[in-house]
A and B are shown apart, each in its own frame.
Chain A
Amino acid sequence: MKTSEKLIILAGAAKYDASCSSSGSNRNSDGDGTGNAAESGICHSWSADGRCISLLKILMSNDCLFDCRYCLSRRSNSQERATFTSEEIASLTINFYLRNYIEGLFLSSAVYASPDKTMADMIEVCRLLRHKHAFNGYIHLKIIPGAAADLVQQAGFLADRLSVNIEFPSEASLKRLAPQKSKMSILAPMKQIGDNFTGFQLERKKSRNSPVFCPGGQSTQMIIGASGESDFQILNLTESLYNKMSLKRVYYSAYIAVNEGLYLPALTTAPPLLREHRLYQADWLLRFYKFQAHEILSPAFPNLDDRLDPKAAWALRNFDLFPIDINRASYEELLRIPGVGILSARRIIKTRRVAAIREQDLKKIGLVLKRAKYFITINGKYPARSSLSHHQLVDAMCRAESPAARKLLQNSRQLRLF
């Protein structure tokens, strides 16, 4: 099979993967190698679905021995199969990279041989790139569940980022939907990577000569909507992955119904894009806004409101904490106001050092007034003028949702009718 044919099959098979980021690693080109990994991600193109393309994201193979129920490449599907050689991927990567099509490689694979053999071939790609082609660009490698610990170790010394897909929020779902994968085969490498990541980071502080292990940290991915867990379970798991496993990112991937089968949503089910969007917003609150999972959801309210972004929903539930005085509030308090982002909160703090903020300044600072006005006071005034009932407030906040979210909402409602 020609490289171009393989590329079409194996890029097509990799597209269901959510994570595209190449940021967070700053590998420098040392000596006479080619390339570096930029700290803030660079997009090289955008696909027709509006996603940033920054990496050559492909599978090594889609010829899987496993039979995960949710997956297009599973053994029991009849599919065109292809497998790259390590050299094919390495030369595609370096040639795309030199032409500035990509930031680097994101390599995943079906388990086409034993987990160890599959992993070893993927590591060989990295070795060719780093040593033969002197490539210093970005490499994100997926760990094959069940791969031996020493292979995981080698991968860490070659890649910028590693990820082990956690796949489902609970062990029961994993058993049901990915019978050949076990909780241990996922959590063991995750823990190993986490420990080594922090371990070698400490080493590097002591001595510049100690090796770099997976400098971009590790991430993981969860499939949303193929199993029955609540958003509360998902968010709690996310939080503990950040706190206990020191993950850099948790990605969510709305399940696209590609297979028929027991335990799976019907083929006609639309991918839950709105739910995915709300989960990312909640994840954002965890990572940048100092929220905790139990503030966003609780056993009594286990799912995110699909009409409202989670910060607005939180503010409406805790309306007694508002209004907040823009000229007095601390940075943390400002961040809790719907319509105030990190940038505008910083600007408020900076501007206040020079002069008090006036009502007409709020828009200039970048505050989204149509959302914020119900939650603030400024110089003794309440910019929303009259106070609304809880119902009216909810309505107003729904109307103030971003156009993108409203479009998702509209689409999800439409689909439900048919």
Chain B
Amino acid sequence: MDTTIYLHDGSFEGLLHAVAAAVKSKEGVKGIYAENGYSRQIFDRHIRIQTDGQQALRLFDYLKKLKGSAARYALNGYLSDDRDVGIHLYWLVRECLARGPQATELYTHDSIRYLDKLSQKVGKEAHRLTGLIRFRILEDGLQYAPFESDCNVISYCARHFRKRLKNRQWILHDIRRNYALYWDCSSLQEIAIEDDFTKHVRQYGELPDARISHDEQLYQALWKSFHAAIDNKDRKNIELQRRLMPRRYWKYLSEMRD
């Protein structure tokens, strides 16, 4: 009977270790979840994994050796914050053990297709945000960009901007997860942002007035007029605009504000 449920601490290592443990066990596996937010059912058997980095790394190395996208499936699956990613990774590994390494490309397999979709979702949102992230330039030259994303894509975005804006100091701030990264022109580090500040940004989608410089105001206004000026009245297609740039991303875009 598929009754065993593996629970982990919600970290990437935790997820991988749980998948590895499930693959090794002889019993049927019903699910692999992050402990946080999971409510136990009375008839299920639960195994709580004490995360062991070594175990996780061993599985990750195995995935990297497989053909195609297995390692990316694991990483992006984790970053997608999808609840069910664990069990699908489990099926992926089982399939590869049974059929050989090219099974990762078997798009007809439900779990592999599920992982492929998750992975694409993460990649797509990361790519989208590299465009939609907006830096505000503060008086002292520091650049600050608040954003909210469905998936956990801040590290992908940071990787993009450390190349593009490598000679500028900047902060990326995932408001939803309240997690911020600071680039000081040579290295990237986690940084804590004041609660009051975060609260204001979350509420208004913009910095407190006192922190907005004259130049910043000017360029936001110029960008807004540019955006309005290039509308092609003969081709108006608001539906298409909304589909390509869903409303949930508008909050931090000055051009979309009234």
Contact = CB atoms under 8 A, between A and B. Distances in A.
B222 A7 contact: yes
A390 interface: no
Interface string A50-89: 1111101110000000000000000000000000000000
A99 B232 contact: no
A398 to B, nearest CB: 22
Interface residues of A, number: 58
A129 B234 CA distance: 34
A209 B237 CA distance: 47
Among A51, A52, A54, max chain B CB count under 10 A is at: A51
Given A49-B235, A49-B241, A354-B103, A35 B164 contact: yes
Interface string A25-59: 00011001111101010111111111111101110
Contacts of B113: 364
Interface string A337-355: 0000000000100110111
A11 B131 contact: no
B155 interface: no
Interface string B214-258: 010001011101111111101111111101110000000101100
Interface stretch (A90-98, A143-151, A199-207): A90-98
A287 B107 CA distance: 27
Contacts of B239: 50
Contact of A54 (B105, B131, B143): B131
Contacts, number: 152
Nearest to A3: B222
Interface stretch (B37-45, B81-89, B134-142): B134-142
Interface residues of B, number: 54
A184 interface: no
Contact of B231 (A36, A49, A52): A49
A51 B226 CA distance: 14
A7 B226 contact: yes
A44 B132 contact: yes
Contacts of A43: 128, 131, 244
A29 B230 contact: no
Interface in B148-175: 161, 163-168
A45 B106 contact: no
B70 to A, nearest CB: 14
B176 interface: no
Give me the 8 closest cross-chain CB pairs, A-B, nearest first: A50-B240, A49-B235, A11-B229, A361-B108, A50-B237, A350-B105, A42-B131, A15-B230
14 contacts: A7-B225, A8-B225, A15-B232, A35-B164, A43-B131, A43-B244, A45-B255, A50-B241, A50-B244, A53-B230, A98-B143, A98-B165, A256-B234, A353-B105
Given A51-B235, A99-B135, A361-B108, 12 more contacts: A4-B225, A35-B164, A35-B165, A43-B128, A45-B132, A46-B245, A50-B243, A100-B131, A101-B223, A273-B235, A355-B106, A358-B108
